[in-house]
Structure 1
Amino acid sequence: MNATAVLASLMRKQGALYTIMMLQLTGYMYPPPALLKSGDSFDYIIVGGGTAGSVIATRLAQKKYNVLLVEAGHDAPYESMYPSLIPYLKNSKADWNYTSVNDTYSYQCHKDKNVHLTQGIMLGGTGALNYMTWSRGNPKNFEKWHRITKDPTWKWENVLPYFIKSEAIHDSEIMNSPLKDFYGANGYIGITRENKTYTADYIKGFEQLGKAMIADIDGNRNGYARGLITVYNGKRQDSGSQYLSKVTDSSYLAVAKGTLATKILFDEDRNAVGVELITDDGRSITVNARQEIIVAAGAIKSPQLLMLSGIGPCRDLKKLNISCIADLPVGKNLQDHIAAFIAHTTNKRLARGGVDPNEYPAGLFVGYASLNMNMTHNKHYIKFPDYEAMGFIMNNMRFLLQFCAFTLDFPNSLCNKLYEEANGRQVLVTLLSNLYGYSRGQVRLNSADPQDPPEVITDSFSNDIDLDNLVDYIIDYLKVEETEAFKNLSASRVDLTTPHCDAFEMGSRGYWRCYTLCMMTSLRHYGGTCAMGSVVDSRLHVRHVKKLRVADASVMPTLVAGNTFATVVMIGEKVSDFIIEDAGPYNDVEHEQIRQDQIKNLPTTFG
């Protein structure tokens, strides 16, 4: 077995899964596709059926508003449902398949010297192809949002109810503890805890190091625990499948699938009144919004659509002959969590048994730790987490090679070395990330053609403090190698940077800086490109225009600690309430149902 053979096999299976996708086996979980024509009108048009868009469409339809949800992709494919099939989603028809610009500094040990920006193009969006880890962020993250927006609605105590509303926690450790009052049991997103028996052998090392063993892993305190995952009853829990399934028969929701939004239209008073679309069958049409348009296309696609519509940096738009309606820093402030890939071989034999498609494909622990003291609002000093460690315990060598050479895009030769060093034993792969980086990238238009990919400049480690901090965190994390538990595992770090870092003395600071630049990887937690405080206000209205909001990861002014999925679901829940509150007297109107000739279970074509 080697990386080349494993990737060839993966691509053959992707072809087979594409054939299965044509059968639309997941169609029963989603509303049928809508048949639209120019001039169709709706109360609300939502652009993007991803994590936030699916939530908003569901909540508005449940309130009997007339809603159009526009999604460039189709129903999430079969392989999205099953946790162990996650490697087959990247570079598939369910992925936008965008890449970043090669900045000649970061990602230089990757195959293409850039990062593959894995983003979902399907109902459920990126939440339907991510690695299913669940965390909500540190309460101080939302206190910072409150300070930036000057609006208490974003304080922790005012966002917590929306997390609780969305969650269905199926974990006895949390629900049988005092923490239960801070978690939800009746929401749509089912959450369980990783349950591999061998994970305990690895977590024991951190306990021996003096780290706290905790139940909640929200980035709000230091400690280690088995990972919480968005898997329940053996199926992925994304907002597309879990929210939209509640409104599959709604007469108030139309879902336009395979339909690309190309431009938002404004009247002379800068009211957003319509959207230009290219439909699944190639027609160019315009649909109208009586109330509002909500853009929920994600941190890369939302800024692209705004800029194509004349909202963005005027200087850049004029170069592309796009009339500028509002001069705003759209596309700026791009943020991501950057991690270092750290691999340890062990003496632990692979656990027997085949791969169960309903099981998470690896053991998983998550830990938070800090090196720095932080001052609280009442001037007490406390250690808030600075970094996160996600430990993937690889019990399947095929998955190890898929994860290394395909998911993370490291060279086949590097991954083959790791496979050979493993010698048929378990491997611990840790993705160690800086929770609060200072580097900022941007999303720009390549052209005025909406079908052209945007230009994504990550500028990872453009602020050298981020690189130095991550080196400090790696050195701190690797203290676990000296524990009895890791010695019993014969845990040995595999240096995969040869010959790239051979000029540096092993273990020196220069070596670790080189190592980090070489073994860096994106956690695909993109956000900030339509940020509150600069592009949208605290109720997510786009500044300087009317009847237009953005609601997705792009509105985060700063990233939360940990995975962003839960926070984007929360944003979807919260903005739904904003929209309903702001509708005012419109709430008392008898809203028009979707005409039956707009809802047809048509054969879906795939380009």
Structure 2
Amino acid sequence: MKMSTRKYFLALLFSLSFLTLTSGAKRKRLPSSAYAVPGTNATYDYLVVGGGTAGLALASRLAESFRVAVIEAGGFYELDNGNASVVPYYSLTIPSLSSSPDYPHQPLFDWDLVSQPQVGGGNRRIHYAQSKTLGGCSAHNTMAYLRSTRGTQDRWAQIAGDDSYKWDNMLPYYKKSVTLTPPNWQKRNMPNATFTYDTTAFNPAGQGGGPVQISWANWVDPAATWLAKCLQGMGMPKSDVGFTSGTLSGFGAWTNTEIDPTTAERSSATEYLKQAIENTEIMVYHQTQAMKINFDNTKRARSVLVSTMGLEYTLSASKEVIVSAGVYHSPQLLMVSGVGPKATLQKYNIPVVSDLPVGQGLQDQIWFTVSSGITSPNAIQIASDPANREILLREYLDDQSGVLSSAGGYLAFEKLPSEFRTAFSKRTASALAALPSDFPEIEYIVTGFPDGKGGSAGALTATILHPYSFGSVTISSGSMLDKPVFDMGWLTDSADTELALAAFKLGPEIAPGSAVQSDADILDYIRKNCNQMWHPSGTCRMGKAGDGKSIVDMTGLRVLDTSIFPFANPGHPTATLYALAEKLADDIT
């Protein structure tokens, strides 16, 4: 009797303590309660496969109205990649971003993908860094926030047969995903680096902005400002509106996403997750890889077989499975689950659920560099000098300023001037003319770096924004444990080689130098030295039913990442991914 009474009072005490903790409005959900214990089958309304840029944004918005779980193969970038992901400057120097097949491995954070030999890229095999972490590539990129153009969005709507993708209809979603902080001119402290921007491209402070913070870096690389003068010398006008209001033309300072201006730390898609953990019942299965999507006899997606470090179990979706695993892994997951080219599936004895062109249409933007001599110091010189270490740390930790607070610089967009188009073939000229009038052909980024002799060199990188060369992604088995097989198809279309040659000739250089003069020599240099922009797209492209190129007829299944882009976009994809996630959440709810 005494034991029963004791148990009763202990239970009552626990209940009263719990009520005391939860009855007040100030008490919020413990972050730890959002991370599921693996091994138990469970059912949710929506399963989001991939906790990257788009995945976390969409899952967090859906969790406001539904039961949602996120399946993410990686962990936490703050732990697994440390300062390389958290401190802005280090995002420019992450060793695992190397494109060499002998890159420094980072197994906690990188998917360890290496391409097939690039026939148009000097027969090189390219390491393609892809983030395996909550936040995805928003935890791994160089933090540039650039939206698409008005004409580009309108073309997207035309291809999709859906006016909701037009610029005017997408702009509210661009605005909803981010919160803008004006530049801190005092910390930037660079009179020749002032700029203007379109304030109407963002929601006013406190009026509907999103969880991701965007601003401009609190420090300006002096080398970049003088290299920007080089762009002016090439005839490019300065942009008066910036790169967020539907225009990509001229040169200017890029807006940084994923930098919180109050802390100068990366503000990634995990900002969505933090907000959702506090306000919803979202659940996250981290260190958990999706192995296969299961369909019922009506070909409707019903569940996902997952593996947490070898422990397999099944998560079910009463409404939809949403795949957001990236341009390489999304098509791989669809194919091993029976959605893809029939011949490929049959080759690996995978039952065909739907015969669709999954994995085709890969477009990969590439860049190459022309170097010139400069005299101003640059960020890498300043940061690598041991004499500067203490002051740089104090600037960053105490004032959120200085070199370590910055990942931003200057860039420019243009359609090539007429004098550089004279060598275009009729086919290339026609292909470029078919792009929207505001779709830039080339993006230029200016950076400074040590010349190896105690001085500085300047790099002007030219990026082909709408490649006409296509690659593909396929599988080598029916298992997600085997890596996807992919070929980016670099410079296999003559339109791209003609455009690259013209862009190369825009300015003087010290590298590659006088030995590279003929078109054949220049093209050989470009093939052997070009690199990825990390903006691949198109492997699960959206479009109209019956166009033969789109992934459109699945039930209970969606895809949301850059693989759905119907063509390579001129703006950097992060901004568009956040907007697409906001739009899809709105469409669903």
Please confirm whether the aligned pair reaches a TM-score higher than 0.5, indicating the same fold. yes
**TM-superposed deviation, 1:382:** 5.3
Q: How does 1:131-530 map to 2 (within 5 A)?
A: 131-172=142-183, 179-184=198-203, 185=205, 186-194=209-217, 195-196=219-220, 198=222, 199-214=224-239, 215-218=241-244, 220-230=247-257, 231-233=259-261, 234-240=264-270, 242-250=271-279, 252-280=281-309, 282-349=310-377, 353-354=388-389, 356=393, 359-360=404-405, 364-371=409-416, 384-394=439-449, 397=450, 419-420=451-452, 423-476=453-506, 478=507, 481=508, 493-495=510-512, 506-530=516-540
- Which residue of structure 1 lines up, in the alignment, with residue 542 of structure 2? 532
Q: Match of 1:62, SS?
A: coil
Contact 2:368–2:526 at 8 Å: present in 1 too? yes
Of the three residues 22, 40, 49, the one matched with 1:47 is 49
Q: Match of 2:505, SS?
A: helix
Deviates more, 1:427-436 or 1:81-90: 81-90
- Which residue of structure 1 lines up, in the alignment, with residue 141 of structure 2? 130
Contact 1:217–1:224 at 8 Å: present in 2 too? no
Q: Match of 1:84, SS?
A: helix
* Greater than 6 Å deviation, 4+ residue runs: 28-31, 173-178, 372-375, 534-537
Contact 1:265–1:272 at 8 Å: present in 2 too? yes
2-side partners of 1:243 and 1:161: how far apart? 17
CA RMSD of aligned residues (A): 2.9
- Structure 2 letter corresponding to 1:257: H
Contact 2:119–2:489 at 8 Å: present in 1 too? no
**TM-superposed deviation, 1:188:** 1.9
CA displacement 1:389-436 (0-9 Å, x = unmatched): 011223xx5xxxxxxxxxxxxxxxxxxxxx43xx22232223211111
Q: Match of 1:68, SS?
A: strand
Q: How does 1:102-117 map to 2 (within 5 A)?
A: 102-108=117-123, 113-117=124-128
- Which residue of structure 2 lines up, in the alignment, with residue 83 of structure 1? 88
1-side partners of 2:220 and 2:538: how far apart? 35
- Which residue of structure 1 lines up, in the alignment, with residue 23 of structure 2? none
2-side partners of 1:256 and 1:548: how far apart? 19
- Which residue of structure 2 lines up, in the alignment, with residue 544 of structure 1? 553
- Which residue of structure 2 lines up, in the alignment, with residue 412 of structure 1? none
Report how many residues are paired: 495
Contact 1:386–1:434 at 8 Å: present in 2 too? yes
2-side partners of 1:381 and 1:569: how far apart? 23
- Structure 2 letter corresponding to 1:72: A
1-side partners of 2:197 and 2:143: how far apart? 25
2-side partners of 1:45 and 1:535: how far apart? 25
- Which residue of structure 2 lines up, in the alignment, with residue 66 of structure 1? 67
- Structure 1 letter corresponding to 2:355: D
Contact 2:227–2:447 at 8 Å: present in 1 too? no
CA displacement 1:278-300 (0-9 Å, x = unmatched): 014x2111111111110011111
Cα distance change on mapping 1:259 and 1:534 into 2, 3 Å: farther
**TM-score normalised over the length of structure 1:** 0.76
1-side partners of 2:546 and 2:445: how far apart? 32
Contact 1:146–1:155 at 8 Å: present in 2 too? yes
Contact 2:150–2:438 at 8 Å: present in 1 too? no
- Structure 1 letter corresponding to 2:202: Y
**TM-superposed deviation, 1:107:** 4.5
CA displacement 1:287-318 (0-9 Å, x = unmatched): 11111110011111110000011000011100
Contact 2:541–2:551 at 8 Å: present in 1 too? no
Cα distance change on mapping 1:557 and 1:384 into 2, 3 Å: closer
Q: Match of 2:252, SS?
A: strand
- Sequence identity (%): 27
Q: Match of 2:109, SS?
A: coil
2-side partners of 1:260 and 1:88: how far apart? 25
1-side partners of 2:436 and 2:475: how far apart? 44
- Structure 2 letter corresponding to 1:364: G
CA displacement 1:260-284 (0-9 Å, x = unmatched): 001111111111110000014x211
Contact 2:88–2:266 at 8 Å: present in 1 too? yes
2-side partners of 1:295 and 1:432: how far apart? 33
Contact 1:349–1:424 at 8 Å: present in 2 too? no
1-side partners of 2:408 and 2:308: how far apart? 42
**TM-score normalised over the length of structure 2:** 0.78
2-side partners of 1:239 and 1:380: how far apart? 31
Contact 1:217–1:367 at 8 Å: present in 2 too? no
Stretches of structure 1 that go unaligned for 5 or more consecutive residues are 1-27, 398-418, 482-491, 497-501, 581-607
Deviates more, 1:203-212 or 1:263-272: 203-212
Contact 2:77–2:109 at 8 Å: present in 1 too? yes
**TM-superposed deviation, 1:514:** 1.5
Q: Which structure has the larger Rg over C-alpha atoms?
A: 2
Contact 1:31–1:247 at 8 Å: present in 2 too? no
**TM-superposed deviation, 1:178:** 7.6
Cα distance change on mapping 1:365 and 1:459 into 2, 3 Å: same
1-side partners of 2:457 and 2:31: how far apart? 37
Contact 1:387–1:473 at 8 Å: present in 2 too? yes
- Structure 1 letter corresponding to 2:523: R
